[in-house]
Every structure is written in structure tokens, then in C-alpha cells.
Amino acid sequence: MPTSSAPQAVLFDRDSTLVVDVPYNGDPDLVRPMPGAVEAVAAVRAAGVPTGVVSNQSGIARGLITREQVDAVNARVDEVFGAFDTWQVCPHGPEDGCACRKPAPGMVLQAAAALGVDPARVVVIGDIGADVGAAHAAGAAAVLVPTPITRAEEVAAASVVAPDLATAVRIALAGGAG
Ligand SMILES: [Mg+2]
Ligand SMILES: [Zn+2]
């Protein structure tokens, strides 16, 4: 049973958080989990907490990949990790002004609605400032797990930073995400 301080859902960024980033990847065979990521997601599920993915995929808007290719890659992610309870994908580009592209809150709100949970009891785990921004814009908590692409000012601005996904999940499940 989840404790009262535990989140009602944990949402993960996909690229550079769950899987090694292959820019605009349309090939399921190139899906490789980040170190420790499969175990970290399993720990969330073992705590009885639903999991989801919130992923910007502007390659669709840019005409570099199709929605079908993204869906095929995401299906492979579900095979590698076990099926996530909800997937939210933004197919738009930065100029489209959509409500879903992180740091906009749309995908976090949609995921919470799909799971039937309160956005304020959701934790988003991701590797860049847009992940943290989307969480906070939705009223959710966030844990930043920096990678070499994460900018120093994004790390400085994040209220909660973890060195790896396992630590991020421990913080999230303990109710310590900001
Ligand atoms: Mg990322
Ligand atoms: Zn969008």
C-alpha cells in the first residue's frame, strides 16, 4: 500500500531519462534504457504507484519522423520497461503554441486525468528544465536528474535534483519532491 505521503502517480520524461536519447528516433531497435532506469520504474510499481510517460516529439511536426514511428518506439519502450499506465506525446513544434509541449502543463494534466489522480499528487521526473517547468505549471512536483545535456542554470533552478533515477524515485516515493 502506498503511504499517505506517496505520490498518486510518477510521470517520466522519455529521452535521456528512461531511454538513451537518439534524436528524432523512429527505430524501435535503437531503444536502450538509461542505466538503472528499468529498476527505478519497477520500484515505483512495487510501491503500488501508477507510472506514465510525458514526451515532447517535435520530430513529428518537423517532418523528420511519423507519429506511427513514434508509437512504434514507444511500444518498444513498453516492452523493455513493462507497460506504462499512460502515455502522453506532444507532436508539435516550439512555434506551434500548443498546450502540451513541455514546459506547458498539458501532458501532465492529461496524464493525471487519464489516471484519475490529483495533479498536485503527481511527481514528474526528467532531465531538463522543461520537464520541471511542465510539472510546476500543472501544480505537480518534479525531480530533475541531470545528464550532460542539462544546462547549469536548469540544475540551479530546480527545487529537487537527484544524481540518478534510483535516487529520484526514492525521493518521489518518500514524498520529498518539490
Ligand atoms: Mg529528456
Ligand atoms: Zn503539443
Residue type, 44: V
- Is residue 13 annotated as a catalytic residue, yes or no? yes
Q: Which ligand is nearest to the CA of 94?
A: 2
Q: State the distance from the centre of ligand 1 to the C-alpha of 151, rounded, in angstroms.
A: 12
pLDDT score, position 22: 96
d(CA 40, CA 34) in angstroms, rounded, equals 10
Å from CA of 79 to ligand 2 middle: 25
| 10 membership: H or E segment, kind and range | strand 9-12
Average pLDDT, the chain: 96
**Could you give the residue ranges of the DSSP H alpha helices within 20-118?**
37-46, 67-81, 106-115
* All structural domains of the chain with their residue ranges: 9-173
Strand order in the sheet with 141-144: 86-90, 51-56, 9-12, 122-126, 141-144
pLDDT in tens, 48-63: 999 999 999 999 999 9
The ligand with the least distance to the CA atom of 88 is 2
pLDDT category of residue 177 using cuts at 50, 70 and 90:
confident
CATH architecture for the domain at 9-173: 3-Layer(aba) Sandwich (3.40)
At 149, list the grid cell. 545535456
